[in-house]
Every structure is written in C-alpha cells, then in structure tokens.
A and B are shown apart, each in its own frame.
Chain A
C-alpha cells in the first residue's frame, strides 16, 4: 500500500533528532554543528539563506564545519553566494550541486570553481525564477534562515531585511521541510511577527549579529563627469521623453548619478512630479536628496540597506513599514512589482554584444544576475496601459492592427564604453558563451537578451533599439554608441549618420546637452557626508564610507 505520509514522517524524525540539541525550539550557538549533523542527510536539498544583503552567516559557518563523512553531496539552492563559507562547502564535499542567482562578492572564486569542476551547476537564475522553482522542483528539505530576534515559540522578527525569508519559509515549512532560524537574540516578545512561530522548528542564538552586505551604497565622491553626462542624457532622452514615473534602478554609479541629478538637473528641466515618482528599489542612500525634495511618492523595497533604518522609520509616507515602525521589505513581492508595475528598468552590465545581448559573466568573474533578467524583461503577461509603456509599444510596432498593439517595458542599459582597466564593454562575442562551452551548460548565462533591451546609453549617446527595423540597423545603432572600443571603431559611418538623422541614435548635442556642462557641481550631494546632512542626521553610513 502506498504511504502518502512518508515525507511527513521523515520530517518528524529529523525534528526529533534535532531536539536532542535543543531546549524546546531554542538551540545554543555552540551546538549548531551538532544540530545540523542531526537534522541534515546526505544528498539533501538545502536553502541556506544568502540573500542579496542579509546572510545566515552563523548557520553557514556551522554547515561548513560539519563532518563531510556525515553530511555530503548536498544540493544548495540559495539566491546569493556571498560569504566564503558558501563556497567552502563545495571544496570539502559537503555540497555538490548548486542552483543560485547572484554571486557578486564571490564572483572571482566561483568562476575558478566552475571551471575547475568543483561545483555541479544547475543554473544561474533570476531571483523570481529561483523562488518559483522552490515551489515546483527545487523545494528545500531544510531551510537555514536569519532573523533579528525570535521568541521561544519561534515567532520571528526579521527586522528591515525581510528579503527572501517569507518565500523560503513558505516553500519549506509547508512541504514537509525543516526550518532552522538563526537570530541575534531570543526575546520575550518580538517587535513584529514576520514569520509565525509554527513555521519555525529551531531557533539558534547566533554568536554574532548576522552580516548584512551594504550593496546599494554608492559614494557620490567617486562619481565621474562621464557618469554625470550619461545620467543627464538618460534623464532628458528617456525619463522625460517617455514620462517614466514607475521604475527600478540598478546598483551602478550611473543610476546613482541619476538619483542625485533629480533635485538639480531634472528639477531645472521642470520634470518634478512628471518622472520617477514610484519605485521598486532598495533604500538607496543616493535617493535621499530626491526624497527630501519631494520627488518621490512611494518606494517598495527588496531588502534594506545598512545605515538607512532610522531614516526609513521617519519617512513612512514613502516606505512600507510595520507596526513596529521599521521597514518591511520582501524580495519576491518587490521583484513582482518590478516586473509588472514598473514601466522601466535601467541598469548597468559588463558586456554587450552586437545584438544587444548582455552579460555580467566575464572570463574570470561570474557575478550572477540577481533581479536583472526579471526586471530587465518585457512581461508578456502585462495587461494594464500607461503612457510610457504605450509609447514604447508604438515605437516598436509598425505592422499589424493598431487596436491590438500592446506596450513595451523600457529596458535601458546604462554603460560606459570602457570599464575598469580599459576593458571594453562592447564585444563581438560574450564571455558567457565561452563559460557555457567550458562548463557544459546547456544555456549560456545571458543576463538580458537583446530583444528585451530598448535603449543603450553611453557617454557617446543613446541608441533607441525600438526604432531599429532589422538586425543590421540594430548592430550599427549599437556600434554607433560604442565609443572608441573596437566594436565602436568598426562602425559603418554613413549608416550611423543615417540612424542619427532618424533619431535612432542621439548624441548629447542632439539632446541639447553640452558635455562640458557635465560637472560634479550638478550632484545634489557630493559626498556621503552630504547625504547625512540631507537626511537631517538620520542616515548612519557604515564605517567604511565614513571618510571625513
């Protein structure tokens, strides 16, 4: 006879084995390894909460310290590969297979390990896609998550960095999995219940507060005139042109420069209230001047940002906050918002090819994607109009019944033609293809496919790919803004001139922008200290950004 409850019984057995090392649900910090060795089994699928920012670091250290003869061949499913321990487990054999999304800080090491065959890679996902698979074919057996505090019943307060936690817990707890949470402290009563206690099986008192990566802090002092010029072109040539109100920004310096130009340059252009009012965005410190100047109506966040907590508490008209006053972030919902409720995604990349495909994979770095492939794609399930969306749709579609025309998401790549150390951004062939070949991946890790990209902005100008009518035009439009890279110098000058006359390519002078006006004096804040002043002292930057 079929046993329909075998998973449930296996779960009960795991919990019973774990209880030996716990008092009720509470486990002491020094018993983490014992707990994990009791609960985990070889070959398990494990979600170790490594988010974009928040890290279950105590549990990660515990997992890395497990005995590989007892715990081995794990299949790790996690959104971020951020800490060294996330990769250590693959070196010791504790883990074997990996499905993930983002690996910024470990991009160099993960590339080496992929080429060396130490990691069996499933796929590099976009966040929402990985979350979706948690509910279909990558459901975790055990989830190792992080929160600020918990009570003895397991009620969990995540603090402002809720991020992926509700999604991970939902997929694990309701499908016979075990959820282990590390918290900074056990309290009598949590300030806010982010995860109800009956979904948490064990609570570990961590030895140190969990690590949060300050990923979204861009120091205005490091912004260059080129980045300011690019930002000016984007504001005038895209934000104003399409009337983009609802949007998401990437994490680069280019978009941070745009944030700092809203209260100055964009204000002078009379754009206040007409652009950039509603955001799916992490609490970027560089957005503070725009918020304080009344530009920003609403921001929903994927996660929080180090140092922004007090500021957010005092600006609850703008941010989503709980009854306790602190930010409530949620990556799955915010990614959904970025996909369906935003008219534009604008961000940077490391490589763009002649068809507009882009990737952050280079020969020696595999940075992963995070949310970019999701927000940087045109959602074919969207069914509500907006002026920006409809205008982009009109530009793209010249055949067919106008009554059946649908809009287009604006997907803008904001890049400098050369990156660090004179590495060209524009290439004939993406390094991602080489990675796929060498590691036997079925699908090359392309971040944003060319057919989703609508505009490329560089210091040389804007290429509007919506207006390109064939592959040749698209290639020349891209070459036409690729500056002095080999791709740029390989342009057909006559065709580029023709595209410029048609408005497919627009130079700074075509937009009425004098490159020599791109000056740091345009930045609403020129340093982190200026941002602190703008915030009325509420923004508390992390030590590494305090250089005064």
Chain B
C-alpha cells in the first residue's frame, strides 16, 4: 500500500455549496473518491491510498491536470484506489467535482 499526498493552490473555489460527496467503489480497476469542502477556498488537497506502488508521477500528473481544469478550491479529496487506470481516476474526479456543484 502506497500513500500519496498532493497540495495545490487554486485560483477559484469549487463551484456549488455541497459539503460532501462520494463517488465510485473500491473494486479492482476502480476507485472511491470522497470530496469534503473543508479547506480555504484557494487550496485543494488530495490524499491517495493505492495498492499499486511506483506510479507516483502518474498520479501527480492526473491530479495536476484535474486541478488546472476544474479549480476545486476548498476541497479535500481522499481516494481509495483499487488499481484504477489514470483515465478512470480522471473520470471519477470529474464526477466527484460535478456532484459537489449541487447546492447544499
């Protein structure tokens, strides 16, 4: 099990006002993403627990692209990975951000 942490500053706060959302499942090739609106609006943190070691640079690139595209300011994101491929990770992150767009 490898644990990874990424911290980004954002230009905007994540849209919507939902305090929390969860998407995906912990299954082989899939992942579970928990999003919580608990940080200052210009910060985003992503914590990853993955059973597959050695892909730190790929995770870093996926998270950086997500942050640049979505501007998820204020969100702390926790990922329980089941060995998902990067495209699935991107998709789940985008799905999570969309869920947070709802009003509280």
Report the minimal beta-carbon distance from A424 to chain B, rounded to whole angstroms: 10
Does B34 count as interface, using CB distance less than 8 angstroms? no
**A423 nearest CB neighbor, chain B only:** B85
* Complexed CA–CA distance, A75 and B93 (Å): 55
Which listed residue, B58, B62, B85, B94, touches A516 by the CB 8 Å rule? B94
Of residues 407 through 425 on chain A, the ones whose CB sits less than 8 Å from some CB of chain B are 416-418, 422
CB of B95 within 8 Å of the partner chain: yes
**Max count, chain B CB within 10 A of own CB: residue among A225, A226, A417, A422:** A422
Verify A484–B86 contact, CB threshold 8 A: yes
Could you count the A-B residue pairs with CB atoms below 8 Å apart for me: how many are there? 39
Chain B, residue nearest A225 (CB): B91
Number of chain A residues close to chain B: CB under 8 A: 16
Q: B residues within 8 A CB of A483?
A: 86-87
Q: State the CA gap A422–B28 with chains docked (Å).
A: 12
| B55-A422 in contact (CB<8A) | yes
Pair B88/A226 contact, Cβ less than 8 Å: yes
Given A226-B91, A489-B61, A515-B91, residue A416 in contact with residue B85 (CB < 8 A): yes
Beta-carbon nearest neighbor of B30 in chain A: A224
Does A459 touch B at the CB level, under 8 Å?
A: yes
B98 contacts partner chain A, Cβ-Cβ < 8 Å: yes
Chain A residues within 8 Å of B98, by CB: 516
CB <8 Å contact, B88 and A422: no
Shortest beta-carbon distance, A514 to chain B, in Å? 9
Which residues of chain A from 212 to 231 have a CB within 8 Å of any chain B CB?
Answer: 224-226, 229
Are B95 and A417 interface neighbours, CB within 8 A?
Answer: no
A229–B94 Cα distance when bound, in Å, is 14
CB distance from B103 to the nearest CB of A (A): 18
Interchain CB contact (< 8 A) of A422 among B57, B85, B94: B85
Q: What separation, in Å, do the CA atoms of A416 and B91 have in the docked complex? A: 14
Q: Is the CB of A484 within 8 A of B95?
A: no
Query: Does the CB pair A417–B86 fall under 8 Å?
Result: yes
Closest chain B residue, CB of each to CB of A230: B87
Flag if A459 contacts B87 (CB, 8 Å): yes
Given contacts A484-B61, A484-B62, contact A418 B94 (CB under 8 A): no
With contacts A484-B58, A489-B61, A516-B98 taken as known, whether A418 is within 8 angstroms of B85 at the C-beta atoms is: yes
A483 vs B65: C-alpha distance when bound (angstroms): 11
- Is B83 in contact with chain A by the CB < 8 A criterion? yes
CA gap between A226 and B95 in the complex, in Å = 13
Q: Which residues of A contact B38 (CB under 8 A)?
A: none
Cα-based distance from A188 to B95 in the complex (angstroms)? 64
The smallest C-beta distance from B56 to any residue of chain A, in angstroms, reads 12
User: What's the minimum C-beta distance from B92 to chain A, rounded to whole angstroms?
Assistant: 9
For A489, the chain B residues whose CB sits under 8 A away are 57-58, 61
One digit per residue, 1 when the CB lies within 8 angstroms of any chain B CB and 0 when it does not, for chain A 476-501 equals 00000001100001000000000000
- The residue among B57, B83, B86 with the most chain A CB atoms within 10 A of its own CB is B86
Among residues of A, the one whose C-beta sits closest to the C-beta of B84 is A422
Residue of A nearest to B85 (CB): A418
A238 to chain B, nearest CB (A): 19
CB-based nearest A residue for B83: A422
Interchain CA distance A510-B56 in the complex, whole Å: 30
Q: Tell me whether B52 is interfacial, beta carbon within 8 Å.
A: yes
A418/B87 in contact, CB under 8 A: yes
Contact A515 B86 (CB under 8 A): no
With a cutoff of 8 Å between Cβ atoms, the chain A residues found around residue B52 in the complex are: 422
Looking at the assembled complex, report how far the CB atom of B89 sits from the nearest CB atom of chain A, in whole angstroms.
9
B57 contact set on A, CB distance < 8 A:
489
Closest 10 CB pairs of A and B: A484-B86, A418-B85, A459-B87, A484-B58, A226-B87, A484-B61, A516-B98, A516-B94, A225-B91, A489-B61
Q: Besides the contacts A484-B58, A484-B61, A484-B86, what 14 more A-B pairs have beta carbons closer than 8 Å?
A: A225-B88, A225-B91, A417-B87, A418-B85, A422-B83, A459-B87, A460-B87, A483-B87, A515-B91, A515-B94, A516-B91, A516-B94, A516-B95, A518-B91
Q: Which residues of A contact B (CB under 8 A)?
A: 224-226, 229, 416-418, 422, 459-460, 483-484, 489, 515-516, 518
List, sorted by A's number, 27 A–B pairs whose CB atoms are closer than 8 Å.
A225-B88, A225-B91, A226-B85, A226-B87, A229-B91, A416-B85, A416-B87, A417-B85, A417-B86, A417-B87, A418-B85, A418-B86, A422-B52, A422-B55, A422-B85, A460-B87, A483-B87, A484-B61, A484-B62, A489-B57, A489-B58, A489-B61, A515-B91, A515-B94, A516-B91, A516-B95, A518-B91
